[in-house]
Amino acid sequence: VRLLQRQGVAVKLAHPLPTLEILSVGFHLFTAIGSREGHGYLVEQIARAPRLLRLGCDFSTASLAPIDLRCRLCGTVLYKGLTRYVVHPPQQPHITYEIHTDDAPVTSNVAAIDGDSSRLQCSQRCHGNLWLIDAFSGFVHHVLDKQYAIACGDARGAYPALAVAVSDELGPDCFLRRRSNHPSASSQPITEHPLPLPVGLN
């Protein structure tokens, strides 16, 4: 851990993996170490894995299937057959997990809040002034600078249910049933912890 905390060391862990399509790591990027060393390692590893499609931060490779993303309240399909994404623990306590991707949502099935295309919800407008999809609104951190961040989870307290990821093979919320075995894995908002090595490759 002390070695990894030295700036720039984690980048050296990246290796050429030309056939890698799915990667799972036992850390997230919302800590001081993760945002520096973890981010540096992943950027370098992605550059050395040109076929990489899906990445799980604290989520196992077994859960990283192609998914649809739907509004959990009305069922509107926000994304259909999404194959390129990062799944990450939440930034806020009313969110269970987040999906980050460069792929755009189904245009006809989303609506901008107050004309702001950086804050999108389902076309049925189930969430009032809350948005499910963030496109660099300035309020949400985007993992690895992905264009879109999608909030997923059940209702919590005064907050309504958000989006849900559905896999044809694994069912709804497949990420939660197949979490990483790393002790940091949790559906709760993230907390500071050391940066371990990658835990899974496919």
Alpha-carbon torsion angle 121, 127, 128, 133, nearest 10: -30
Identify whether 14 is part of a domain: yes
Cα-Cα-Cα-Cα dihedral sign, residues 184, 79, 144, 146:
negative
Measured distance CA(79)–CA(70) in Å, rounded: 7
SS3 of residue 197 by DSSP:
coil
Q: Which residues pair with 99 in a beta bridge?
A: 87, 150
Identify whether 40 is part of a domain: yes
Residues spanned by the domain of 102: 10-201
Run of H or E including 69 = strand 67-71
Identify whether 4 is part of a domain: no
Identify whether 2 is part of a domain: no
Find how far residue 117's CA is from the centre of its chain.
20
Identify whether 119 is part of a domain: yes
Identity (one letter) of the amino acid at 188? Q
Number of domains the chain is built from: 1
Q: State the pLDDT at residue 34.
A: 79
Q: Beta-carbon neighbour count of residue 127 at 10 Å?
A: 21
Q: State the pLDDT at residue 6.
A: 57
Q: How confident is the model at residue 196 (pLDDT cuts 50, 70, 90)?
A: very low
pTM reported for the whole predicted model: 0.85
What are 199's two structure tokens? 């835990």
SS3 of residue 33 by DSSP:
helix
Give the whole-number percent of the chain exceeding pLDDT 90.
Answer: 70
Q: Which pLDDT tens digit goes with each residue over 130-172?
A: 999 999 999 999 999 999 999 999 999 999 999 999 999 999 9
Exposure string over 10-43, b if 16+ CB within 10 A, otherwise e: beeebeebeebebbbbbbbbbbebbebbbbbbbe
Identify whether 5 is part of a domain: no
Q: Beta-carbon neighbour count of residue 160 at 10 Å?
A: 16
Nearest in space to 184 (alpha carbons), one of 174, 173, 195: 195
Identify whether 80 is part of a domain: yes
Cα-Cα-Cα-Cα dihedral sign, residues 199, 195, 21, 19:
negative
Identify whether 17 is part of a domain: yes
Mean pLDDT is lowest, of 33-42, 98-107, 120-129, 167-176, for: 33-42
